[in-house]
Structure 1
Amino acid sequence: MTIMAGMGSPTGTGVGPLLRGWRERRHLSQQHLALRADCSVRHLSFVENGRSHPSRDLVLRLAEQLDVPVRERNTLLLAAGYAPQYPETPLDDPSMDALRAGIERLLAAHDPYPALVVDGDFRVLAANRALALLLDGVAPHLLRPPFNAVRIALHPDGLAPRIVNHRQWRGHLLERLEQQLELVGTESLRRLREEVGGYPEPTGDPAGRADRAGPVEDVVEVGRPVALPLRLRHDGRVLSFLSTVTTFGTPLDVTVSELALETFLPADAETADFLRSAVGPDR
């Protein structure tokens, strides 16, 4: 494996409007948030309308209770006139050696099943050997590092023509993009959402009939699908995967907070057998 170097955040002119925006987004009353953050409702009201200036500690307590992303906690602190709390360290920085080693071990442990690590803009920062199997046939211009996982999945020169349940998988990825925009809201992420949302759907795809007929039921439980599989044509067969996404708990760095490990586990025995045969043991 190798490691390669909608809505945004609530807006306002100061820390008060920003905090109010996050509170409203979380559908919390001032009373509920004040109780959680151990402050008075009156003081919280004064902070939100700019009549009172919050301490650094209160800004961080409120951000914690509002589940504000780490990057945006720095924004709140800056808006309140304080220095940022969380650094943003490049993944190739020497101080990240232990993290990179941990990522490599995680990716290697998932072989022969595909796994990758993406940042907050879905750029692929690391991947294991098995991912190359899924990327077979993707146009070279889409694979120039750091390539983008969502772009590769939905681009007409990427995986889109090979995804059997493309309509469903496209909807799933666009929903993930919207959720990420809620958390990060970077301009690059907004541009990505606009770009991939405009891609045409594959034409002449026999799977289109299955998509319109309803959910693909590769994985069932009492006749009902329990998760949406990714069904991908490869060398005359259809591989079926279930994806999982894992993030780092209690991150203290902006970079780490936006990393996500995505794995593609076989959804049936045939896919598992093929991957074990095609990828083989780690060398």
Structure 2
Amino acid sequence: MTMVATEASVSTAAPDSKGVGPLLRAWRERRRISQLELALRADSSARHISFVETGRSRPSEEMVLRLAEHLDVPVRERNALLLAAGYAPRYPETPLDDPALDALRDGMERLIQGYEPYPALVVDAGYTVVAANRGITMLLDGIPEKLLHPPNAMRLTLHPEGLAPRIRNLREWRGHLVAQMERQLALHRSDQLRALYEEVTAYPVPEDAPGEEPEEPVPYFALPMRVEHEGRILSFVSSISTFNTPMDVTVAELAIETFLPADPATAKYLQTLAG
């Protein structure tokens, strides 16, 4: 398994020239919360929320953070709100290879190694793979080097020279990944993430893209990724974990994705490889 140090994958959003009010209003509307509901949650008043959003009142630093918390604003964007309100950013952005994050890196490596022989990886907010175990390496066997440096999970999966030709339910799995990116774009104002989205959605999908079902359908409990490996069809369902209450932008944007065998045949095959 390799840990890859990367630069921050999503740039901190520049503060809005009109101040913090329009930004807070945009987040409130995105969450579909009324001014009254937000006021009740934040122990304020609808009148004060209205004044903040229209620029008639400058919120305190504590109020900006309280509103951001109740609006579930991502950590990076909370820094942008603070800057727009005239305050210093609260959350640092520590490079992943910084010694201060040694314990975090070691913990993630032990976690995904312990998940073997099943695949597991760690990605940042731009889907750059920063760590991966041998289960992932097995799936990526034969992928061109140009897609591995730097490795990007979306590009590796959906590129015509990546895993895409091997995925037996490519249309369904592609739809799942594209929807996932769209949810991320709704939370992060990132030119880099937008560029990645436009790139992968432009990849051609053959009319005869793999999509056949197994001869004896299995009642999967979640949408699986069905991928061919050395003449076998392996089925996985994925789970994504993030860190609870992160206080650093880098940590907040890390996600651990694990792939669980979706049927007994896949589990048995992977255990055989491990043996």
When residues 115 and 218 of structure 1 are mapped into structure 2, their CA distance, relative to the original with a 3 A threshold, is farther
| Paired position in structure 1 for 2:95 | 90
Matched, 1:199 2:203: yes
Measured in 1, the distance between the counterparts of 2:26 and 2:269 equals 49
Q: Percent identity?
A: 62
Matches within 5 A, 1:105-120: 105-120=110-125
TM-score, normalising length: structure 1? 0.90
Measured in 2, the distance between the counterparts of 1:29 and 1:269 equals 48
Q: Could you report, residue by residue, the CA deviation over 1:71-103 in whole angstroms, capped at 9, with x for unpaired residues?
A: 000000000000001000011000001101110
When residues 217 and 165 of structure 1 are mapped into structure 2, their CA distance, relative to the original with a 3 A threshold, is farther
Measured in 1, the distance between the counterparts of 2:225 and 2:17 equals 40
Measured in 2, the distance between the counterparts of 1:78 and 1:256 equals 20
Contact kept in structure 1, 2:16 and 2:84, CA below 8 Å: no
Q: 1:166 aligns with which of 159, 170, 173?
A: 170
Contact kept in structure 1, 2:17 and 2:84, CA below 8 Å: no
TM-score, normalising length: structure 2? 0.93
- Large movers: runs of 4+ above 6 Å: 9-12
| Paired position in structure 1 for 2:29 | 24
Measured in 2, the distance between the counterparts of 1:265 and 1:47 equals 47
| Paired position in structure 2 for 1:41 | 46
Measured in 1, the distance between the counterparts of 2:96 and 2:228 equals 34
Measured in 2, the distance between the counterparts of 1:236 and 1:122 equals 28
Q: 1:54 aligns with which of 39, 43, 59?
A: 59
Q: What SS class does the counterpart of residue 272 from structure 2 fall into?
A: helix
| Paired position in structure 2 for 1:136 | 141
Q: Which runs of 5+ in 2 are unaligned?
A: 6-12
Equivalent AA in structure 1 for residue 188 of structure 2: V
When residues 270 and 262 of structure 1 are mapped into structure 2, their CA distance, relative to the original with a 3 A threshold, is same
Equivalent AA in structure 2 for residue 181 of structure 1: L
Measured in 2, the distance between the counterparts of 1:53 and 1:35 equals 19
Contact kept in structure 2, 1:120 and 1:184, CA below 8 Å: no
Matches within 5 A, 1:200-219: 200-202=204-206, 204-205=208-209, 207-208=210-211, 210=212, 219=218
Please report how far the alpha carbon of residue 203 of structure 1 lies from its aligned counterpart in structure 2 after TM superposition. 5.5
| Paired position in structure 2 for 1:248 | 243
Matched, 1:270 2:265: yes
Measured in 1, the distance between the counterparts of 2:55 and 2:98 equals 39
Matched, 1:179 2:183: yes
